[in-house]
Amino acid sequence: MTEGWTDPQTPSWQSGPVADERDAERPFSQRPGDGSVGRADLQRDQTVRQWGPVTPSATQIGRAESPDADLSESVRRLHEERHSAMAGHSSRMHRLDKLRIAHALCNDLSLTPWQRDRVVGIMSDLDLTAFGSQRAIPKVALVVIRHVVDHEREHYLGLHDQEWIRELSPAELNELYDQFRSITDEERFSELVAKHGLNVTNLNRLRRTLKDQLREQDLEDAVYGRNPHRDPNLPSLGARRADDSHEERSHEKRVDVDDE
- Per-residue pLDDT tens over the stretch 157-211: 887 777 888 887 788 878 877 788 888 888 999 999 999 988 888 888 999 999 9
Model pLDDT, residue 103:
93
| pLDDT band per the 50, 70, 90 thresholds, residue 26 | low
Residues of the chain with pLDDT > 70, as a percent, come to 60
232: alpha, beta or left? (left if phi > 0; alpha if psi -120 to 50): alpha
Q: Choose from 4-13, 57-66, 213-222 the range with maximum mean pLDDT.
A: 213-222
Tell me, yes or no, if the pTM score tops 0.85: no
Name the least confident of 115-119, 196-200, 202-206, 238-242: 238-242
DSSP secondary structure string, 62-113?
Answer: ---SSTT----HHHHHHHTT--TTSTTHHHHHHHHHHHHHHHHHHHHTT--H
Nearest to residue 217, comparing CAs of 98, 128, 93? 128
Separation of alpha carbons 207 and 147, rounded Å: 7
Model pLDDT, residue 145:
94
Identify the sign of the CA torsion 120, 121, 124, 130: negative
Do 71 and 79 form a contact (C-beta atoms < 8 A)? yes
Model pLDDT, residue 210:
92
Model pLDDT, residue 12:
46
What 3-state class would DSSP assign to 222? coil
Q: Please, which residues have CB within 8 angstroms of residue 31's CB and are 6 or more apart in sequence?
A: none
| pLDDT band per the 50, 70, 90 thresholds, residue 13 | very low
Per-domain boundaries in the chain = 88-216
The chain-wide mean pLDDT, for the chain, equals 75
Which tops the pLDDT comparison, 146 or 181?
146
For the beta carbon of residue 164, count every other beta carbon within 10 angstroms.
Answer: 10
Model pLDDT, residue 35:
66
CA diameter of the chain: 114
* pLDDT tens per residue across span 45-93: 666 555 554 555 455 667 777 777 777 777 777 766 666 666 666 777 7
